[in-house]
Amino acid sequence: MMTADTAINLSHQLFRSLADAGSPVEADRRLLGVLAECVGARQAALWRPTLPDWSLIAAHPRPTPAVPEAVAEALDLGGSAHLAGWSATPLSVTTGAMQPDVLAIEAKLDAATLTEMASLFEAARSAARQLQRGERLDELLGMSIAWSASSDTVALLEAMAESATRLFAADRATIFLWDKRAAKLVGRPALGLPGNQLVIPEDAGVVGKVVQTGTPRRVGPRDGGAQVDRSTDTQTGYRTKSLLCVPLDAPSGERLGAFELINKKGPTGEFNDDDEAGLAEFAYLAAAAVASAQQLEDLLDQRDTLIDQAASGARMLGESPAIAALRKTIDRVAESDLSVLVLGENGTGKEVVAQSLHFRSPRRAAPLLAVNCAAIAESLLESELFGHEAGAFTDARESRAGKFELADGGTLLLDEIGDMSLAGQAKLLRVLEDKTVVRVGGAEERRVDVRVVAATNRDLSQRVREKSFREDLFYRLCVVTLELPPLRDRGEDVLLLAEHFLRSFGQSRGRKPPKLSAGAKKRLLTHNWPGNVRELRNLMERVAYLTDGPTIGPEDLSIISRSAGTGENGATELFEGTLTDATNAFQRAYIDHCVDRSRGNVASAARQLGLHRSNLYRKMRHLGLEEGSSGTED
């Protein structure tokens, strides 16, 4: 029996030996070395009964050639045994084990001393396991943070497998995801197989049993491999000797699949209770990351679908030579970051061109924002474009990013840029040249990566000559110039667009789209379309909702005769009715034009017309204009 001082000294040595022990096997080997040195023994070993034979867990200083007789005797007796120069005693039964490990020391020790040494060994061994578990959890936490940023499930699974093989000293690892619809388990990584992927039936082998039951399973080298599905080994030429598999359950409780480790490294070549407990913790965090990545992938797929839908809607419809040539030019320049200047009358589709450029570019997943430079007061335009800091001006209670910052990585449409003030132009030029913005009231320069598409119905070259538009900004913007033809110059495109709008509005209303009669087509083709495509779209929307018959006749298009009196080309329309009718028709058209030009901002339109906002609303009601569709007040 050991003295108290000897027991205390041995305990200290056992615990000191655990510093930087690394794996559980290394910790066991160091503890056995301390015991052997304490009693002057040549060897010490730890054995585990794995019927019908024994497995060596750890040994010091090297593996013993055979199982000492005392080991089996101690297990049979359930206590100390002394045979052939060896002393052995069983340890406590660990969680999940059927029988205890047996400690064996090549020395003749009395039962009391051996029992005390075994007790101290177990205490130090348990502490080592707790310490290693804590270190493993710390490492798992760090890995889970990295995993949470991943949106690529395949790359995530490969990273998890690499981490698991390192943490649990396994030769390989595979994560199986359950495809319930196909009744398959899809495993990655799968070395030696096409595409680094293994697909098996959902109930095949050990993995299938774990997925179906939710119970972890272990297969050791002494089990004969009867549970292992050898078909994969046959395909790859690899030999599975030991295996550990645990279920992969999401935090919601949904079973995602299973996590499998193959071929334990080390003297025993088999996975133990600590490995199983550790892999269960690992799989819990892995499942959360996989579920998050799959959700993110689903969201990205939905985003891509929405982008594709938006891109399909952002296309220039028409077969006229001018539109065909425009589409080709858009396709050529969309991939670049060149600045584009879009010219054309109001309503010709300048914003659609900007959308086309954006959705056909590498920036398609980033924001596309638009600013109407004519609809924003000069005093607010700088804040709108570049943002402001809190307290920069009255009512600036908090900091706010401008459109350039919000569109970072994407595209910014500067509509009606011909109406921007010279002061605003100077600030815009600086941003385009330096690719930095400074918020109003701030000093920090913020880098921005934005493609600028400018649009206007003005003759900018004329405004440059008049000194109302900066020449340097003009050349900066018009690296590529796209000119949209007015609808009156597009011939049969009028009918193609009309039928497109009728189909679209017919679907919205849930009715079969009406057909255009020959008389209606003639009327559409002879109209001057001062409001261009926007006017045609609004007309088809009214017709689709206000007519119930299967055919649209010229009488259904009588609204055309009450539309704009003077187009942007300067031509005067012929009006039917009295002078009062013609005057009212002109006022309706001109108010519509001003509201459209202000992008629906009624207050801005009122300023252009020289009216108070309330007077403009009164005039609109008098003329029968729909206030609800006229836009915003501010």
8-state DSSP, 486: P
Mean of the pLDDT values across residues 244-256? 88
- pLDDT of amino acid 569: 40
User: Whose structure tokens read 């119970």?
Assistant: 215
d(CA 585, CA 577): 10
Q: pLDDT tens-digit profile of 343-391?
A: 999 889 898 999 999 988 888 888 889 998 887 877 788 888 888 888 8
Residues 178-209 pLDDT 10s: 988 889 999 988 877 888 888 999 998 899 99
pLDDT tens-digit series, residues 417-431: 988 888 888 888 988
Q: CA 94, 253, 95 angle in degrees (round to 5)?
A: 5
CA dist 153 and 100 (Å) reads: 41
Boundaries of CATH 3.40.50.300 in the chain? 314-483
Token output for 561: 């005769």
pLDDT: which is higher, 93 or 386: 386
Reading the block at residue 88, the tokens are 């052995």
What distance in Å separates the CA atoms of residue 364 and residue 358, rounded to the nearest whole number? Answer: 6
Confidence at residue 159, expressed as pLDDT on a 0 to 100 scale = 85
Judge whether residue 572 has pLDDT over 60.
no
Residue 50 pLDDT exceeds 50: yes
pLDDT of residue 566: 42
Which pLDDT score, from 0 to 100, does residue 596 have?
77
CA 158 – CA 417 distance, rounded (Å) = 51
Least confident range from 72-86, 87-101, 133-147, 469-483: namely: 133-147
CATH of domain 314-483: 3.40.50.300
Domain with CATH 3.30.450.40 in the chain: 4-133, 150-297
401 pairs with which residues across the strands?
387
**pLDDT surpasses 80 at 79:** yes
What is the distance between the alpha carbons of residues 7 and 632, in angstroms, rounded to a whole number? 87
Residue 630 phi, psi (nearest 5): -90, -5
Fold for 4-133, please state it.
Beta-Lactamase (3.30.450)
- C-alpha span between 310 and 552 (Å, rounded): 30
What phi and psi, each to the nearest 5 degrees, are found at residue 348?
A: -85, -15
Please state the rounded mean pLDDT for residues 69-89. Answer: 92
Exposure string over 46-83, b if 16+ CB within 10 A, otherwise e: bbbbbeeebbbbbbbeeebeebbbbbbbbbeeeebbbe
Cα four-point dihedral sign 499, 501, 507, 509: negative
Element (H, E) at 48: strand 44-50
Q: Which fold has domain 490-629?
A: Helicase, Ruva Protein; domain 3 (1.10.8)
State both tokens at 342.
């879009």
Instruction: Decide if pLDDT at 251 tops 50.
Output: yes
Confidence of residue 564 (pLDDT cuts 50, 70, 90): very low
Taking the alpha carbons of 538, 544, 546, 551 in that order, is the dihedral positive or negative? positive
Whether the Cβ atoms of residue 216 and residue 244 lie closer than 8 Å to each other: yes
Mean pLDDT for 241-261 is 90
Domain 150-297 has CATH 2.40.128.260: no
Mean of pLDDT values over 398-405: 89
Evaluate whether 285 touches 144 at the Cβ level (below 8 Å). yes
The pLDDT of residue 262 is above 90: yes
What tens digit of pLDDT does each residue of 134-168 get? 656 566 666 666 666 566 778 888 888 888 888 88
Mean pLDDT over all residues of the chain?
83
Q: CA-based angle 197:198:203, to the nearest 5?
A: 150
What is the tens place of the pLDDT at every residue in 499-511? 999 988 888 878 8
CB atoms within 10 A of CB 90: 22
Top-confidence residue, 402 or 396: 402
> Is it the case that residue 571 has pLDDT exceeding 50?
no
Mean pLDDT in residue range 461-479: 91
pLDDT at 527 over 50: yes
How does pLDDT run across 292-309, given as a tens digit for each residue?
777 666 656 666 666 666
What pLDDT sits at residue 147? 66
Is the pLDDT reported for residue 452 higher than 60?
yes
Strand order in the sheet with 340-343: 368-372, 411-415, 451-456, 340-343, 480-483
Q: Which of the pair, 535 or 599, is modelled with greater confidence? A: 535
